[in-house]
Amino acid sequence: MSGYSCRKCGEACAINMRQHRLALCENDFIEWVRKHTAEFIAKHRMIEPDDRVLVAVSGGKDSLALWSILLDLGFRADGLHIDLGIEGGNGYSERSRQYARRFADGISPGTVLHILNVRDIYGKSVPELARKGVRGRKKFCSACGLVKRHEMNRTARELGYTVLVTGHNLDDEAAVLLGNVLHWETEYMARQLPVLQGNDSGLIKRAKPFARFYERETAAYAIVSGIDYMPDECPFSHGATSLGYKEILNSMENQSPGTKLKFYFEFLRAKKKGLLQGYTPAELRQCGKCGEVTGSSGLCAFCRLIERARLP
């Protein structure tokens, strides 16, 4: 057994994508990922020619690979790295920032990496904020996600970016969908899309150009492209529910290739045909304190988290 050959050129195969019945060599895989990223962006009208794009850059494989491809495709795309202040015994946030910085130093001049430090702005790191908040006591990841979403939108809005893109891959999306289905979170399901339009209240358009790729494909792309990415998982992610969902989905995928792809894309198709019609997302307004968009009638969830963290 010598393994599969590339379907396009016959060279040794670097990756076999069983869900597509497609084996490709390194070069043809790089081409395939770039082509399908461009097509997915165009199909969902994620980025228009005059858009200013801000990429959320953690320093991990997905965000660095995405930023790299967007620049290769000719988009005007700057990066935003949020230093969460996570130590975790190995300087997790500091190392993540270094990976993001090193990558940014090697790309085209004129492309900017904005670095924002949560502790510098709010006086506390994300773990400290999470420990004080109800969200954090129960779910660190939930508080972290809240802080990141708030800061990404605020930064994009204040700096005049028109689209915020994140490196979420299909495994991320399928795991979120599985969690939402298990709890019948229909309002969350109604707004789970590869692209969310912005609005006049200050919500910046958000897009996920990698939502059609499996996580092993984005990792493979980073490896074959020589992208030096942060390899460690967040120390707070151990035991996270979303990782459990990913494991379940990958077990099913291993038994039946294409399961994740069908789960996510058939959901999007069904939604387009009217599934979840009537489940409209909560009306958004501006938070009276920070000015960011919120579905709450009082302070937004982020400001409530900050207020709780400031209590003695």
Partner 1 sequence: MVKVIYKNSEFQVPGNTSPRKIIVRLGLNPESTLATRSGKLISLETSIGQQDEIKLISVVSGG
- What residues make contact with partner 1 under the rule CB under 8 A? 1-4, 12-16, 23, 26, 60-62, 140-141, 144, 171-172, 214-216, 218-220, 223-224, 231, 233-234, 236-237, 240, 242-243, 246-247, 250-251, 253-254
Nearer to partner 1, 61 or 132 (CB): 61
Angle at the Cα of 151 from the Cα atoms of 267 and 101, rounded to 5 degrees: 100
Nearer to partner 1, 117 or 242 (CB): 242
Work out how close the CB of 157 gets to partner 1 at its nearest, in angstroms, rounded to a whole number.
25
Distance CA 310, CA 233 (A): 29
Work out how close the CB of 142 gets to partner 1 at its nearest, in angstroms, rounded to a whole number.
10
Work out how close the CB of 199 gets to partner 1 at its nearest, in angstroms, rounded to a whole number.
27
Distance CA 174, CA 259 (A): 10
**Buried/exposed 108-127: b ≥16 CB within 10 Å, e otherwise:** eeeeebbbeebeeebebbbb
**Buried/exposed 272-289: b ≥16 CB within 10 Å, e otherwise:** eeeeeeeeeeeeeeebee
Work out how close the CB of 186 gets to partner 1 at its nearest, in angstroms, rounded to a whole number.
24
Using DSSP's 3-state secondary structure scheme, residue 9 falls into coil
Distance CA 289, CA 293 (A): 11
Nearer to partner 1, 2 or 297 (CB): 2
Work out how close the CB of 134 gets to partner 1 at its nearest, in angstroms, rounded to a whole number.
19
Tokens found for residue 31: 């081409």
Nearer to partner 1, 233 or 266 (CB): 233
Nearer to partner 1, 198 or 235 (CB): 235
